[in-house]
Structure 1
Amino acid sequence: MTYSIVGYDPKEKEWGIAVQSKFLGVGAVVPWAKAGAGAVATQSYANTAYGPQALAAMENGKSAEETLNDLLSVDPDREMRQVGIIDANGNPATFTGSECYDWAGGITGSHFAAQGNILVDKRTVQAMADDFSNSKGPLAERLLHALNAGQEAGGDSRGQQSAAILVVKEQGGYGGFNDRFVDLRVEDHPEPITELIRIYNLHQLYFAPSKAENIVKIEGDIKSELTQQLRRLNYIKEDTANDEQLYKALTAYLHTENFEGREQPEGQLDLEVLAFMRKS
């Protein structure tokens, strides 16, 4: 009832899964990942125990294939399961049981496993595989782009409902306290992948580090526009504002809008913040 892609970025040491299904809240069932261990997509008549069991096995050094074989060997309903796995070293494995509903199947390649069931046809999985293989950039974006390519190629034969992306990285979570680098879900939506991409872009705006080329001094036209925007948004009440009032108003805005991650030393501004102000 689902299609997914599991992937690995050897440079950034990231593991992740992107998934879509005609199923409510697919992100609560299919994706499992742990930095340094690997990533798992468990679907069809999903056995959610596969997630923690596979991650524990791979954390102890087992490969994706070994882990998959171990899981299936003790599951009497294995022919109803579909699984995609990436291990700690980026090796893939995929399995589609003989009792999964057509079309069902999977493909593995360099650092990915793509799989799906109840699909229009095999082009969905092939499109995900081709797209991921030919793409560059952050793992999350490659996974989302591949998922979207799968939808454009046909997707779930029953339609769309929910989608999710989970990418893990050592100390990649908020504040560096966990490994959930990207963990986003769309639970029920007529176009869940499109909505997931929109939310991901917001996630990057709020939580991705500022790019050096976007950091500018608050002076000249930038200072004039910043003052105007802060006044329009009611962070500056006076007709004129000195530097102290301007910087105080900017700080209040950044903290209200959860832009702490883009806060710069006094006298500097991330242009992505100003762009967001224009749209507010």
Structure 2
Amino acid sequence: MTFSIVGFDPKEKEWGIAVQSKFIGVGAVVPFARAGAGAVATQSYANTAYGPHALQLMEEGKTAEEALEIIMQDDPDRHLRQVGLIDAQGNAATFTGEGCYDWAGGMIGEHFAAQGNILVDQRTVEAMAGTFTSTEGTLAERLLKALDAGQEAGGDSRGKQSAAIYVVKEKGGYGGFNDRLIDLRVDDHPDPIKELIRIFNLHQLYFAASNPDRIVPVDGSVKEELEAELERHGYMKEDKTVHQGLRDYLHTENFEMREHEGSIDLDVLEFMKKQGK
């Protein structure tokens, strides 16, 4: 009742998983990742011990295939399991037990493993694999596009409920204090992948650095638009200047990453225009 894709970006040294299921809170069960070790998706009567165990083995130097063999060797219910792995070097492995409900199967390719069970048919896995391979962008963007393509190709035959994306990178977390670069979940929603993409785009607006091409001085028509939006949102009280109002807005809305002295990120202005409408 789940489909997922595990991937690796060799340039950025990022490992990640994107997953969707007709199951509440799939992000609490399927994805495991550790910077410098790899990533694991464990599903279909998921044995959640697979995640930490495989990551430890791969951190010690085992390949994805070697780790897969070891974590399953003493599991009496391995025939019910499905798992995909990417190791520290980006090598992939996938396994689908003969007891998984149809359609069930997986594919591996360069730096990815895609798998699913209780799917409409094999086209979901094929679409994830093809999209991940052909798509450019960050690892998170490629994983989400692949997951969305899998849903469009058929997806879970029982329907949709939850989705998640988890990407790790050394010191990639907030403030550089941990490795959790992207950790987003939609636990219960009629269209969880689309909602996950919406939340991811918001996450990027809040935490990604501004595109230099989108930073412009606060003057002319930009200043007029900004002042109107600040007035609409209640940030031009007490005879504040436009720059003071903008500063207050950015700090209230947690846009400190996009604060630029004397200028504004146009992505923030576009967000302001849509906000509250």
- TM above 0.5, yes or no, is yes
Gaps of 5+ in 2: none
CA displacement at 1:70 relative to structure 2 = 0.4
CA displacement at 1:262 relative to structure 2 = 0.8
Question: Aligned to 2:5, what secondary structure does the other structure show?
Answer: strand
Q: Provide the C-alpha distance between the structure 2 equivalents of 1:6 and 1:98, rounded to a whole number of angstroms.
A: 21
Q: 1:258 aligns with which of 254, 258, 273?
A: 254
Name the structure 2 match of 1:111: 111
Give a deviation string over 1:169-202, Cα, whole Å, max 9, x none.
1111111111111110000111111111111111
Name the structure 2 match of 1:26: 26
Name the structure 2 match of 1:124: 124
Q: 1:276 aligns with which of 261, 271, 274?
A: 271
Give a deviation string over 1:241-274, Cα, whole Å, max 9, x none.
5xxx32221111001111111111x211111111
Give a deviation string over 1:26-48, Cα, whole Å, max 9, x none.
00000000111100000001000
Residue 148 (str. 1) matches residue 148 (str. 2): yes
CA displacement at 1:216 relative to structure 2 = 1.1
Q: Which amino acid aligns with 1:248?
A: Q
Gaps of 5+ in 1: none
Q: Which amino acid aligns with 1:31?
A: P
CA displacement at 1:236 relative to structure 2 = 0.6
Q: Provide the C-alpha distance between the structure 1 equivalents of 2:227 and 2:126, rounded to a whole number of angstroms.
A: 51
TM-score normalized with structure 1 length = 0.96
Q: RMSD of the alignment, in Å?
A: 1.0
Instruction: Please give the residue correspondences for 1:199-238 in structure 2 after superposition, counting only pairs within 5 Å.
Output: 199-237=199-237
CA displacement at 1:226 relative to structure 2 = 1.5
Q: Provide the C-alpha distance between the structure 2 equivalents of 1:190 and 1:218, rounded to a whole number of angstroms.
A: 41
Name the structure 1 match of 2:197: 197
Q: Provide the C-alpha distance between the structure 2 equivalents of 1:123 and 1:228, rounded to a whole number of angstroms.
A: 49
CA displacement at 1:60 relative to structure 2 = 0.8
Question: Aligned to 1:74, what secondary structure does the other structure show?
Answer: coil
Q: Provide the C-alpha distance between the structure 1 equivalents of 2:46 and 2:113, rounded to a whole number of angstroms.
A: 17
CA displacement at 1:220 relative to structure 2 = 1.6
Question: Aligned to 1:83, what secondary structure does the other structure show?
Answer: strand
Q: Provide the C-alpha distance between the structure 2 equivalents of 1:237 and 1:71, rounded to a whole number of angstroms.
A: 62
Task: Give aligned-pair identity as a percent.
Answer: 70
Name the structure 2 match of 1:102: 102
Q: Provide the C-alpha distance between the structure 2 equivalents of 1:20 and 1:63, rounded to a whole number of angstroms.
A: 26
CA displacement at 1:237 relative to structure 2 = 2.2
Name the structure 2 match of 1:165: 165
Name the structure 2 match of 1:49: 49
Name the structure 1 match of 2:187: 187
Question: Aligned to 1:159, what secondary structure does the other structure show?
Answer: coil
Q: Which amino acid aligns with 2:244?
A: K
Q: Provide the C-alpha distance between the structure 2 equivalents of 1:117 and 1:103, rounded to a whole number of angstroms.
A: 6
CA displacement at 1:224 relative to structure 2 = 2.0
Q: Provide the C-alpha distance between the structure 1 equivalents of 2:225 and 2:189, rounded to a whole number of angstroms.
A: 37
Give a deviation string over 1:14-66, Cα, whole Å, max 9, x none.
11000000000000000000111100000001000001111111111111000
Q: Provide the C-alpha distance between the structure 2 equivalents of 1:276 and 1:159, rounded to a whole number of angstroms.
A: 32
Count of aligned positions: 275
Q: Provide the C-alpha distance between the structure 2 equivalents of 1:180 and 1:65, rounded to a whole number of angstroms.
A: 25
Q: Provide the C-alpha distance between the structure 1 equivalents of 2:222 and 2:192, rounded to a whole number of angstroms.
A: 37
The list of structure 1 runs, each at least 4 consecutive aligned residues, that deviate by more than 6 angstroms after superposition, is none
TM-score normalized with structure 2 length = 0.97
Instruction: Please give the residue correspondences for 1:30-109 in structure 2 after superposition, counting only pairs within 5 Å.
Output: 30-109=30-109
Q: 1:247 aligns with which of 215, 239, 243?
A: 243
Give a deviation string over 1:138-176, Cα, whole Å, max 9, x none.
111111111111111111110111000001111111111
Give a deviation string over 1:59-102, Cα, whole Å, max 9, x none.
11111000000011121111111000000010000000111111
Give a deviation string over 1:105-143, Cα, whole Å, max 9, x none.
100000000000111111111111111111111111111
